């Protein structure tokens, strides 16, 4: 099933919109223009031309922008315990690599149904997985972060195998990706860990960090010594560890009994259900379409599997 999508338009200039700014759907240019004009308290004179700033500001106000005070806020984030300025981790490079995939990747033509296509794509992305990975008890943050980069790109490529996703406007694809890539990676790694380690995965809390590295979560430490982090981070790290341990029962254990097709189905549901809670319009239309298709595909898969079992018996 193919859907036709149209890019949302800025209500001020009628060019492609990039989201809601000051309560109104606009492009970034109009949002910046309005913010700059209000902050500087500009008093434009009408030039009676298509580029008249006076008329542009009036249109901004007419469509409802500026219902509250516009303020420019500049401040540093201070650690509440150490009172030191917080260092930020910039992930623009990660986003740009994934964005390139989201903009340019084209899945090869195939006669497979959507669920079969996603299952095949998942198998391909997992083809480099070692079944005898090296175990690490600790890892430098930069090394740990590099694994995230790889799985970010993998998630983007896998999503592009969904026709409905690829047909969305690029800005919407990026928005969905930003919301879902981390939960995609988490489920994929836990499900793959159950394949590689079997029941040991749950009993010993074993998790694949990458294709070549695994760890025992109860012992695993990430070295953040190169970063400026206050003592309050210890609480955050212990909370993350607790959540990771819970995933062995809620995700890894059920995955012991899932086929590749069922994992691909679950990943697709996770992506679209997670995205549709935060995005509307075309995203919901795409979600309904792909989920309806793969549900039919899964039904056919079970029917064929049942026939195969009957033939074998």
Q: Cα–Cα distance between 3 and 165 in angstroms, integer?
A: 10
3-state SS class at 236: helix
Alpha helix locations (H) across the chain? 28-40, 53-62, 92-104, 114-125, 141-159, 163-166, 170-197, 200-203, 233-247, 253-255, 260-276, 282-312
Q: Please state the domain extents for the chain.
A: 8-73, 92-312
How confident is the model over 129-139, as pLDDT tens digits?
999 999 999 88
Span 104-111, mean pLDDT? 91
Q: Cα–Cα distance between 18 and 27 in angstroms, integer?
A: 5
121, two tokens: 């794509």
pLDDT at 57 over 80: yes
Query: Residues 3-20, buried b or exposed e (16+ Cβ, 10 A)?
Result: eeeeebebbbbeeebbee
27-41, 43-57, 103-117, 240-254: which is most confident? 103-117
Q: Cα–Cα distance between 259 and 195 in angstroms, integer?
A: 10
10, two tokens: 């800025």
Percent of the chain clearing pLDDT 70 (strictly above): 80
How confident is the model over 266-289, as pLDDT tens digits?
999 999 988 877 776 677 888 888
Per the prediction, the chain carries an average pLDDT of: 82
Look at residue 190 in the predicted model and tell me its pLDDT: 96
Span 116-130, mean pLDDT? 96
DSSP secondary structure letter of residue 135: E
3-state SS class at 289: helix
Q: How far is CA 190 from CA 88, 89, 127, 144, 197, in A?
A: 28, 26, 16, 16, 10
DSSP secondary structure letter of residue 67: S
Q: What is the CATH number of domain 8-73?
A: 3.30.50.10
How confident is the model over 192-213, as pLDDT tens digits?
999 999 999 999 999 999 999 9
pLDDT at 239 over 70: no
Q: Cα–Cα distance between 180 and 4 in angstroms, integer?
A: 23
283, two tokens: 């995203």
Strand order in the sheet with 134-135: 134-135, 213-216, 206-208
Look at residue 84 in the predicted model and tell me its pLDDT: 54
92-312 is a CATH 1.10.3720.10 domain:
no
Q: What is the value of pTM for the model shown?
A: 0.69
């Amino acid at each position: 099933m193919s859907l036709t999508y149209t890019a949302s338009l800025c209500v001020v200039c009628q060019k492609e919109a990039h989201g809601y700014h000051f309560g109104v759907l606009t492009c970034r240019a109009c949002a910046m223009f309005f913010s700059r004009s209000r902050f500087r308290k500009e008093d434009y004179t009408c030039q009676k031309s298509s580029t008249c700033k006076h008329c542009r500001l009036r249109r901004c106000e007419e469509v409802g922008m500026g219902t509250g005070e516009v303020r420019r806020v500049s401040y540093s984030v201070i650690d509440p315990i150490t009172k030191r300025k917080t260092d930020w981790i910039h992930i623009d490079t990660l986003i740009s690599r994934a964005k390139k995939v989201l903009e340019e990747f084209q899945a090869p033509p195939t006669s497979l149904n959507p669920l079969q296509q996603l299952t095949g794509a998942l198998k391909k992305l997992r083809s480099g997985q070692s079944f005898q990975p090296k175990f690490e008890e600790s890892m430098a943050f930069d090394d740990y972060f590099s694994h995230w980069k790889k799985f970010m790109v993998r998630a983007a490529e896998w999503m592009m195998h969904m026709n409905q996703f690829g047909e969305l406007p690029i800005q919407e694809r990026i928005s969905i990706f930003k919301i879902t890539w981390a939960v995609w990676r988490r489920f994929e790694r836990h499900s793959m860990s159950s394949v590689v380690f079997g029941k040991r995965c749950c009993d010993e809390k074993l998790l694949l960090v990458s294709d070549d590295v695994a760890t025992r979560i109860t012992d695993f430490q990430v070295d953040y010594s190169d970063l400026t982090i206050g003592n309050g981070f210890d609480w955050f790290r212990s909370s993350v560890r607790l959540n990771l341990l819970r995933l062995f029962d809620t995700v890894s254990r059920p995955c012991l009994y899932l086929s590749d097709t069922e994992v691909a189905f679950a990943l697709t549901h996770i992506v679209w259900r997670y995205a549709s809670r935060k995005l509307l319009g075309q995203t919901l239309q795409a979600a309904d379409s792909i989920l309806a298709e793969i549900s039919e595909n899964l039904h056919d898969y079970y029917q064929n599997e049942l026939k195969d079992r009957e033939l074998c018996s």
